[in-house]
């Protein structure tokens, strides 16, 4: 497991490390060595071995001067582009130590360009000179290595307001920052390489990034005398005349190991679904105007016979869906996963229904759905998603899984991020698959944060694997159902090794 830090948390960690006896110059030397090591590795694959290091005025620039000095000492042809005069004491000292030739414009022809213009503290828009330098870096034709984060990218949220360096690789100093993983970050950072320079983190519950070995405990070896009841009873409430196939994608619950899955659909689409998934129990629910209708007796039976219930896939936003959600919140005692139109109905008819509940609740909104729940803008969610998610989860006592190119997960006290994923998931039905996975895993653990992280990992890794054969344009949500067992098998295998 690794951690994902905010800029403020990273500064606090730097200060804490220095208070423990490690000087700022030592940290800069270590960072410079780490960047130089990655540069040397990249150069071993490049035919052109010359290096240009672009240095700014702050400590990120100091890292660059240090890396340039180290690479030159090893015999590489290195020049430094001093974009702005050094301002911090550390940057000034490293500038003085670095005797490599200076240039005042970046031309094409270098094999490697190291971007040390701005660090993770940058936000806003680059000034005219910096924007021109970034443009030169991007047009250089060289392999681009960014020190800590590509210049022009905001470290706290990964947003880019204008020009930004498009790196082939980023040397992540210490720990991941949110900017590496969210919004524009993944498209600009290239390959992320974490560089440990001995930064000590103060005691705090940081945002987590689980590794497969942290998730595999959810797939222990099955006992020979086990039965279907031992692996979770899941109910899927979804579908409508308009979206009749959505609940079938929730059958991913079976692929994640659920022992018993009940598919509860409106009577208007019941007959066409008979036999579509022979392993599932198909239950006919009343409908009104092609949408699930409230039926307290049926809901009471479903609640009594389920460990987890997923609601919302293909339901359509409707007051009847809101009534169903409210009943389950007030009477169900297992884990309730609210997805898609269950969320939209909450946003439309009253999110305060979440305040009166007996069950454990997981919400799975994408950015637009979350903006509706929070009554804010998509831009605000993109800028401050982590803070908004934490505040929402704490206020309503829920676990929130905010879906984007990275998935942010927060419960009342902890937060995690899953970076597994692919643009192949940008298709209708991907969220339905995720809801089924989440319900299945949450049915057999009390740790909803870990369950959500695991479900997101399985979906993302399955999409990555499928993209290698079908391409990102060719993958459909239904394809994921065939790939998920292979991803789960990998976690099973890890659990046995562990």
3-state secondary structure 175-228: CEEHHHHCCCHHHHHCEEEEECCCCCCCCCCCEEECCHHHHHHHCCCCCCCCCH
The three-class DSSP label of residue 291 is strand
Q: Where in the chain is the domain with CATH 3.40.50.10260?
A: 2-204
What integer pLDDT is reported at residue 1 of this predicted model? 93
CATH superfamily of 2-204: YjeF N-terminal domain (3.40.50.10260)
**Binding site membership for (6S)-NADPHX: which residues?**
59-63, 119-125, 148, 246, 314, 366, 432
One CATH from 3.60.15.10, 3.40.1190.20, 3.90.190.10, 3.40.50.2000 for 212-497: 3.40.1190.20
**Binding site membership for AMP: which residues?**
403-407, 431
The CA distances from residue 18 to 3, 5, 15, 88, 204, in Å, are: 20, 18, 5, 16, 18
What integer pLDDT is reported at residue 308 of this predicted model? 99
The three-class DSSP label of residue 477 is helix
**Binding site membership: which residues?**
59-63, 115, 119-125, 148, 151, 246, 314, 366, 403-407, 431-432
Q: Where in the chain is the domain with CATH 3.40.1190.20?
A: 212-497
What integer pLDDT is reported at residue 497 of this predicted model? 85
| Nearest residue to 170 (alpha-carbon basis) of 155, 187, 195, 189 | 189
- For residue 102, the surrounding DSSP H or E stretch is strand 102-103
**Contact call for residues 159 and 146 (beta carbons, < 8 A):** no
**Binding site membership for K(+): which residues?**
60, 115, 151
The CA distances from residue 454 to 235, 312, 360, 407, 408, in Å, are: 19, 21, 17, 11, 12
Cα separation, 35 vs 173, in Å, equals: 9
Residue 63: HSE in the Cβ half-sphere, 13 Å Cα cutoff: 30
pLDDT tens for the 498 residues of the chain, in order: 999 999 999 999 999 999 999 999 999 999 999 999 999 999 999 999 999 999 999 999 999 999 999 999 999 999 999 999 999 999 999 999 999 999 999 999 999 999 999 999 898 899 999 999 999 999 999 999 999 999 999 999 999 989 999 999 999 999 999 999 999 999 999 999 999 999 999 999 999 999 999 999 999 999 999 999 999 999 999 999 999 999 999 999 999 999 999 999 999 999 999 999 999 999 999 999 999 999 999 999 999 999 999 999 999 999 999 999 999 999 999 999 999 999 999 999 999 999 999 999 999 999 999 999 999 999 999 999 999 999 999 999 999 999 999 999 999 999 999 999 999 999 999 999 999 999 999 999 999 999 999 999 999 999 999 999 999 999 999 999 999 999 999 999 999 886
CA 349 to chain centre: 29
């Amino acid at each position: 497991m690794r951690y994902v830090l905010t800029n403020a948390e990273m500064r606090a960690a730097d200060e804490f490390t220095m208070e423990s006896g490690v000087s700022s110059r030592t940290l800069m030397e270590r960072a410079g060595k780490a960047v130089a090591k990655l540069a040397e590795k990249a150069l071993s694959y490049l035919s052109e071995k010359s290096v240009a290091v672009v240095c700014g005025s702050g400590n990120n620039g100091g890292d660059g001067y240090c890396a340039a000095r180290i690479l030159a000492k090893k015999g590489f042809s290195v020049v430094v582009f001093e974009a702005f005069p050094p301002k911090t004491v550390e940057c000034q000292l490293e500038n003085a130590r670095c005797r490599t030739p200076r240039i005042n414009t970046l031309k094409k022809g270098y094999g490697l360009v190291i971007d040390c213009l701005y660090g993770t503290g940058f936000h806003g828009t680059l000034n005219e000179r910096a924007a021109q330098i970034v443009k030169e870096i991007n047009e250089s034709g060289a392999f681009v290595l960014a020190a800590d984060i590509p210049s022009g990218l905001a470290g706290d949220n990964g947003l880019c307001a204008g020009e930004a360096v498009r790196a082939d690789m980023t040397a992540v100093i210490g720990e991941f920052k949110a900017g590496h993983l969210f919004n524009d970050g993944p498209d600009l950072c290239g390959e992320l390489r974490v560089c440990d320079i001995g930064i000590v983190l103060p005691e705090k519950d940081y945002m987590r990034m689980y590794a497969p070995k942290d998730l595999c405990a959810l797939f222990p070896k099955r006992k020979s005398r086990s039965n279907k009841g031992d692996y979770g009873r899941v109910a899927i409430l979804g579908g409508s005349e308009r979206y009749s196939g959505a609940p079938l994608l929730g059958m991913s619950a079976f692929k994640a190991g659920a022992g018993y899955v009940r598919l509860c659909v409106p009577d208007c689409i019941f007959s066409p679904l008979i036999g579509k998934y022979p392993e599932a129990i198909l239950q006919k629910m009343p409908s009104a105007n092609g949408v699930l209708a409230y039926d307290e007796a049926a809901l009471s039976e479903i609640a009594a016979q389920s460990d987890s219930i997923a609601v919302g896939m293909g339901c359509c936003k409707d007051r009847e869906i809101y009534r169903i959600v409210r009943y389950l919140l007030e009477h169900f005692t297992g884990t309730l996963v609210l997805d898609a139109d269950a969320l939209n109905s909450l946003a439309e008819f009253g999110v305060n229904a979440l305040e009166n509940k007996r069950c454990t609740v997981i919400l799975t909104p994408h950015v637009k759905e979350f903006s509706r729940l929070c009554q804010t803008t998509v831009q605000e969610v993109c800028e401050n998603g982590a803070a908004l998610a934490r505040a929402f989860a704490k206020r309503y006592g829920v676990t929130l899984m905010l879906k984007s190119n990275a998935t942010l997960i927060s419960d009342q006290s902890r937060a995690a991020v899953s970076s597994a994923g692919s643009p192949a998931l940008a298709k209708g039905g991907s969220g339905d698959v995720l809801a089924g996975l989440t319900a299945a895993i949450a049915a057999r653990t009390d740790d909803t944060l870990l369950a959500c992280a695991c479900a997101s990992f399985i979906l993302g890794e399955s999409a990555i694997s499928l993209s290698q054969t079908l391409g990102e344009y060719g993958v459909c949500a239904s394809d994921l159902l065939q790939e998920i067992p292979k991803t789960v098998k990998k976690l099973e295998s890890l659990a046995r090794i562990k």
